[in-house]
Amino acid sequence: MDIFEQKILEAKSMAELDGVRIEFFGKKGSVTQRFAELKNLEGEAKTELAKELSSLKAKFETLFAEKKTILQNQELAQALLSEKIDTSLFFTQAKRSVGHPINYTKDRIIEYFRNLDYDLCIGPLVEDDFHNFEALNLPVYHPARDMQDTFYFKDSMLLRTHTSPVQIRTMLAQKPPIKMICPGATFRRDYDLTHTPMFHQVEGLVVDCGSSANFANLKFTLENFLQYLFGDVKVRFRSSFFPFTEPSAEVDISCNFCGGSGCRVCSHTGWLEVLGCGVVDSRVFEAVGYEGVSGYAFGMGIERLAMLTCGVNDLRSFFETDLRVLEQF
Ligand code: PHE
């Protein structure tokens, strides 16, 4: 066994192994010094020594490389052991969230109607007068336009005041039958405890050839939907007015906070208004060039539904991006 072989075997760390290399092959190493002797030799003796030294060097390099691999693997295994991360510990501490209540509520609504094969449609936030008002039976100077305080741009462009223009866009782009919902942001010049200038709606529209899309279907659809969203609540249809539907109704559910006996949330009426709906007015069909069809539509405010289903009592907290609020969901 060569002199360095034992030392290589005994080295317990990379530092020790490197110590062996320096001892024999470093600048002042014992083997390095013997290489220096070569210049004093000649002939056979020189060749002999050169042979001996180079085979020594080759042997050292092989042993050194082998040991290096072994030591590096040992050091890696040790590091992995001492720096081990318990990922299951981290998992139990992680906070899980359903996301923002508005998105969560919107997704629940979409999921319900997608399961019934409604198409998901979207439309522009900046609308023109035709799609937002005119085609929805709200001609210029119609008093019903007063119901909606509108943000106007130049050239009678505006921020849509409801998602109903998407009904018009969808009917103009497609042929009946139509079954669609449209979620999205809407805008009105309102700002107080229960109104923000930007809010969200989901619109629904069903159009069928013939007379089958009637009020009875609308009622059945919305009753089932509201029970999906709120659980076991009573649903009531109250006659109302929208220019684009006739007949029209507003829909109430029995208050899910007091069970209908009356509380602060329902202003002691036992009922909560949750959406507007109706049978599509024939003038709307005229505006999009539909004939011989029937249809119904409904629209709801997502913020209101989110407040009622998630138990949030201040509308503004939805838009304040306060993590303490969001962390509760
Ligand atoms: N667009 C109406 C609103 O914003 C809601 C609605 C939609 C009513 C569809 C009836 C039918 O108040």
**82-122, pLDDT tens digit by residue?**
887 777 765 555 666 678 899 999 999 999 999 999 999 99
59 in any annotated domain: yes
Q: Residue 311 belongs to a domain with what CATH number?
A: 3.30.930.10
22 in any annotated domain: yes
DSSP 94-129: -------HHHHHHHHHHHHHHHTTPEE----SEEEH
295 in the same domain as 152: yes
Instruction: Specify burial of residue 322 (Cβ count, 10 A radius: 0-12, 13-18, 19+).
Output: exposed
Which carries the bigger pLDDT value, residue 253 or residue 1? 253
56 in the same domain as 19: yes
Cα 298 to ligand 1 centroid, rounded to whole Å: 6
Task: For residue 162, give the ligand 1 atom closest to its CA.
Answer: 4
Give me Rg for the CA atoms of the chain.
39
Q: Which domain holds residue 55?
A: 3-82
Out of 109, 113, 158, 164, mutate this one to test ligand 1's pocket (max ligand atoms within 8 Å of CB): namely 164
Count of helix runs (H) and strand runs (E) in the chain: 12, 9
C-beta 137 within 6 A of ligand 1: no
Written in H, E and C, the secondary structure of 178-204 is EEEEEEEEEECCCCECCECCEEEEEEE
116 in the same domain as 67: no
Quote the pLDDT of residue 163: 98
C-beta 242 within 6 A of ligand 1: yes
280 in the same domain as 135: yes
Give CA angle at 66 (62, 67), nearest 5°: 120
> Domain boundary residue among 14, 48, 82?
82
Which carries the bigger pLDDT value, residue 239 or residue 41? 239
309 in any annotated domain: yes
C-beta 176 within 6 A of ligand 1: no
105 in the same domain as 76: no
Task: For residue 205, give the ligand 1 atom closest to its CA.
Answer: 9
Measure the CA–CA gap between 271 and 253, rounded to whole angstroms. Answer: 6
Measure the CA–CA gap between 193 and 198, rounded to whole angstroms. Answer: 13
Measure the CA–CA gap between 298 and 164, rounded to whole angstroms. Answer: 9
Which carries the bigger pLDDT value, residue 254 or residue 149? 254
pLDDT average, residue stretch 185-190: 92
42 assigned binding-site residue: no
C-beta 298 within 6 A of ligand 1: yes
Measure the CA–CA gap between 120 and 113, rounded to whole angstroms. Answer: 9
Which carries the bigger pLDDT value, residue 240 or residue 2? 240
158 in the same domain as 72: no
125 in the same domain as 262: yes
Q: Give me the chain's average pLDDT, please.
A: 91
C-alpha atoms less than 13 angstroms from C-alpha of 139 in its C-beta half-sphere: 3
76 in the same domain as 131: no
Instruction: Tell me if 136 sits within 8 A of 283, measured CB to CB.
Output: no
pLDDT, one tens digit per residue, over 22-59 is 999 999 999 999 888 888 888 998 999 999 999 999 99
Residue 319 has pLDDT above 80, yes or no: yes
> Domain boundary residue among 22, 48, 82?
82
- 75-90 as b/e: b if 16+ CB within 10 A: eeeeeeeeeeeeeeee
Cα 253 to ligand 1 centroid, rounded to whole Å: 17
213 in the same domain as 148: yes
Bridge partners (DSSP) listed for residue 99: none
147 in the same domain as 52: no
User: Which residue has a Cα nearest atom 10 of ligand 1?
Assistant: 277
Quote the pLDDT of residue 99: 83
Cα 110 to ligand 1 centroid, rounded to whole Å: 17
